[in-house]
A and B are shown apart, each in its own frame.
Chain A
Amino acid sequence: MTIALYVIAFSALTVSFFKSREKTLLALKKAWKSFENILPQFLSILIIIGMMLAILTPEQISKLLGSESGWYGVLIAAVIGSITLIPGFVAFPLAAALLKSGAGYMQIAAFISTLMMVGIVTMPVEISYFGKKATIVRNVAAFGFSFIVALVMGVLL
């Protein structure tokens, strides 16, 4: 997918360049500016994630999320998912490993859902674009939604 994205971006850039040099340059300038604009926050987030994942190892997570842990485990899973930021390509194998080592489907569903939709660490960035109210409402709604996903998973799987 990343390669596809590069191909698309490069093709678009080429077409743009033949249509108007000035506009293409302006687009690149804008691209750089919006990147540099958010770079300090990106870098801070990366360090926080690094430290958090160094402390919270997969073994510790799997201890907390056993299938007998019930709704208490679901809650812990949802909280862990909300505060951590793990890329999807790491999260799914991790979730599969957790299931194998005894975690329940409900807990894993809650973990995956909040992991992707709720972002405590990234809240300052979100607030800078959407303001406090929208950010809080979106994250709380997504947090609540994760419990519904967990419930449905618990019933169906």
Chain B
Amino acid sequence: MKEKMIKFIKRYRIFFLLLIINTAVLVIFPNLGKKAFQLTGSNLLEMLSVLPPIFILLGLLDVWVKRETMIKYMGDNSGIIGVLLAFFLGSAAAGPLYAAFPVAGVLLKKGSKLSNVFIMLGAWSTTKIPLILFEASSLGLKFMLIRLVMDIVGIAVIAYITEKALSTNDKNEIYQKALKENKH
């Protein structure tokens, strides 16, 4: 029990520290601190509203999709299908980019090609369908279209560069991390 408590405090120590800092700000600069807490609160609500379905789908994916299936469709020899699937997965998602990292972890664990995972991340960050529609309505169709076309190219290029920058060793380490991350 005591050990569990220590582990809990250790994992959340940065969060507690930030909470203390923000509380100190609240005492010294009430307006600023109050605003910060309000912003954190509304962001927290947004996060909690969007994350449950993502993590449920993640759990189902982990349990039901066989490694062989993932390798076939998103693995090293998946070709254009893997690329398109990665674009689709990222674009159909909701939620901030940091919610995409656990998804990336499971894809890696199941044997998806690294560059496809980077494409999924890129799509998740900028070509999300509801966001694109929203962008067009607030910044204009032309602005949105130029950015969309550039982003599709950019995402692929960034994924390619990132994968090329990594040695075989680096890549193995990333796959090892994904296996470990999802075990406990």
Contact = CB atoms under 8 A, between A and B. Distances in A.
Contact of A129 (B21, B39, B105, B139): B105
Nearest to B145: A156
Interface in B26-81: 32-33, 35-41, 43-44, 46-47, 49-60, 62-64
A65 interface: no
A46 B44 contact: yes
Given A133-B170, A134-B166, A40 B158 contact: no
B158 A27 contact: no
Contacts of B161: 137, 141
Nearest to B165: A137
A153 to B, nearest CB: 6
B130 to A, nearest CB: 4
A: contact size bracket: 35 or more
Interface residues of B, number: 82
A131 B77 CA distance: 24
Interface in B117-163: 118, 121-122, 125-126, 128-131, 134-135, 138-139, 142-143, 146-147, 150-151, 154, 157-158, 161-162
Given A23-B63, A37-B184, A53-B39, 15 more contacts: A5-B94, A8-B57, A27-B59, A31-B59, A31-B60, A34-B55, A50-B22, A89-B131, A96-B138, A109-B143, A112-B139, A116-B125, A116-B126, A117-B122, A142-B158
